[in-house]
Amino acid sequence: MPEISQFECSRCHEIVPAGGPQTVCRKCAGSLYVRYDLAPLRGLANRENISKNHFASGWPGMWRYRSILPDAEPVTLGEGWTPMIRSRRYPNLFVKEEGANPTGSFKARGLAMAVTMARHYGLKKLAVPSAGNAAGALAAYAAVAGIEANIFMPKDVPFANYFEAIMYGANVTLVDGLISDCGRIIAERKEKEGWFDISTLKEPFRVEGKKTMGYELVEQLGWEYPDAVFYPTGGGVGLIGMWKAFAEMEELGWVRPGKRPRMIAVQSSGCAPVARAFEAGEKASQMWKDASTFASGLRVPKPYGDYIMLEILRESGGVALSLADETILASLKDWARNEGILLSPEGAAATAAYDHLLTTGFLTPQDRVVLFNTGAGLKYTDVTAEAAGIRKPA
């Protein structure tokens, strides 16, 4: 595992020396990236060794990429290396099944890494605002690490998120509001309470964990880029993390230099700040009023890292788009019946977006596409059943 050489601000490129926990850039409040000296790694960490040796090494899941993750003893429940499932109907479409992670969502990757570093630095109390799945993941990894988890989430999160956070022993507060209100409460109270805030993009390690999705999808496609990646976007950590992974892999010589995938950010039309800013050609998003969608993970009215996402979407030749909840639900039903995959509403937003971009001609059926089902459909039993009009038998 490499030493962190420094942190770099994503906005003003200020360099922050390594050592100790980090929050955001002191100059401009931009998110910080973890940087390593990759040059000496070029020879040591070659990709064939990763493919060959990960079983013998005892580093399963996302920790197979430990050669480009910070040097610390992992807090792990076996996250990462999730299945890549080829669609029955679209031979060039692959679903990255992140519901297979511990706690049933891709949030496991970022929070395994963030809690690993929190333990490494000796932090004792963490706090997070969450749309739901980050709460469950933090609660689980905090339980493994013996760290206190303080969780604030909207009172109408899927029941599974509330249930799991309680079961893992977190301090849970349900808030009459959105994730942005939860974030505000933490910001107000953290100093007095002694909490370290691991909000999306307000510390550098959740991106570092989620970047493993980028490494993984390239390795699972035979160390080649797909043509496009569909990412259900709330705060955008995974999208930002994958783009970082692509840059690192190119520097390491792990992927044939060529065209990076078009990055496609998918939102619900009930909360689409990134899609609206993208269409308007803006550099940052505006707070989305009265955000509402059954794809609860997408209910982020003003993502902190909007400026990073918008830059990536444009640089990659991608797009941000939003779909109505009815369209998302129709796609969810379609995939359950015709592919045997019960998607999360967020994942179904991506499948609906795929259908849409085929009809507009933005993509063709020949394009190789990876689409993220970011959470397990079963975590949403209450929410999806209600949307589909399925009642619990009396």
Question: Which residues make up the interface to ligand PLP (CB under 6 A)?
Answer: 105, 107, 131-134, 200, 232-238, 297, 344, 346, 374-375
* Partner whose footprint covers residue 233, from ligand PLP, Zn ion, none (CB < 5 to 8 Å by kind): ligand PLP
**Distance in Å, CB of 302 to ligand PLP, minimum:** 12
Q: Are 108 and 76 in contact (CB under 8 A)?
A: no
Rounded to whole angstroms, how far apart are CA atoms 144 and 126? 13
Please tell me the distance from the alpha carbon of residue 120 to that of residue 114, in angstroms, as a whole number: 10
| Pair type for strands 228-232 and 369-373 | parallel
Please state the closest distance from residue 118 (CB atom) to ligand PLP, in A: 19
Partner in contact with 200, chosen from Zn ion, ligand PLP, none, beta carbon below 5 to 8 Å by kind: ligand PLP
- Please say which residue, 45 or 349, places its beta carbon nearer to ligand PLP: 349
Give the one entry of ligand PLP, Zn ion, none that residue 11 binds, where binding means its C-beta sits below a cut-off of 5 to 8 angstroms depending on kind.
Zn ion
Q: Which listed option, ligand PLP, Zn ion, none, makes contact with residue 235 (CB within 5 to 8 Å by class)? A: ligand PLP
Q: Which is nearer to Zn ion, 29 or 280 (CB)?
A: 29
Q: How far is the CB of 373 from ligand PLP (least distance, A)?
A: 8
H or E element in which residue 151 lies: strand 148-154
Of all residues in the shown chain, the one whose CB is closest to ligand PLP is 297
Nearer to Zn ion, 28 or 280 (CB): 28
DSSP state of 271: B
Residue 65: helix, strand or coil by DSSP?
Answer: helix
Nearer to ligand PLP, 18 or 166 (CB): 166
| Cα–chain center distance at 293 | 18
Torsional sign, CA 170, 176, 179, 180:
negative
Where would I find the beta strands (DSSP E) of 176-242?
196-197, 228-232
- Minimum Å gap between C-beta 31 and Zn ion is 9
Q: Rule CB under 5 A: which residues touch Zn ion?
A: 9, 11-12, 14, 25, 27-28, 30
Q: Residue 29 CB, nearest distance to Zn ion (Å)?
A: 7
Rounded-to-integer distance, Cα 77 and Cα 23, Å: 25
Kindly report the backbone phi and psi dihedral angles of residue 163, in degrees, each rounded to the nearest multiple of 5, phi listed first.
-55, -50
